[in-house]
Chain A
Amino acid sequence: QSALTQPRSVSGSPGQSVTISCTGTSSDVGGYNYVSWYQQHPGKAPKLMIYDVSKRPSGVPDRFSGSKSGNTASLTISGLQAEDEADYYCCSYAGSYTLKVFGGGTKLTVL
């Protein structure tokens, strides 16, 4: 199972919005509404930011939102803040054999 495709890097200035895409296939992203997004700061464990495509866990700011269209999911971060600078990974359920596949990760730089 190939990894989901994410841009290697994105950037934005404080207060701006950025969107990170995550492209898969009809066997993973397009086939299920089970896409999640994780934030990882250097040397730290990943943290859940979005689950089930667009749901936000308690404690995650509403500046973070998720969506999906066809085989591509997206994470949008509005009102960028310095602490949002991190790596972001998407993940999708991929069926009862492969189970779970991650994206290659996107480095967000807040300029």
Chain B
Amino acid sequence: NAGVTQTPKFQVLKTGQSMTLQCAQDMNHNSMYWYRQDPGMGLRLIYYSASEGTTDKGEVPNGYNVSRLNKREFSLRLESAAPSQTSVYFCASSPSTGPPGNTIYFGEGSWLTVV
């Protein structure tokens, strides 16, 4: 059982380049999330999808776009990467955004460096 799978694991981008982080979960969860974590910091919510077909902004959505491709997959796109987007990105999922199913399951992270 893979849980939440993110790709790529590591990526180096030049300023202005674009890229998409892919995420898939195999737990039949309705809700999916993208967080970023800067060195020594906590996690900040970028976007989330409460259910298939819906997406909502989190705390730090600027510079990002998301697509809930289907129930399993939730991608994060950086259209024009900036050094300030250097971070570790975590995809996560949960049965729902609210109780009783809002325990979140995280992927292993994608390390992104923008030079």
Q: Do A and B come from one complex?
A: no
B residues whose Cβ falls under 8 Å from a Cβ of A: none
Interface residues of A (CB under 8 A from B): none
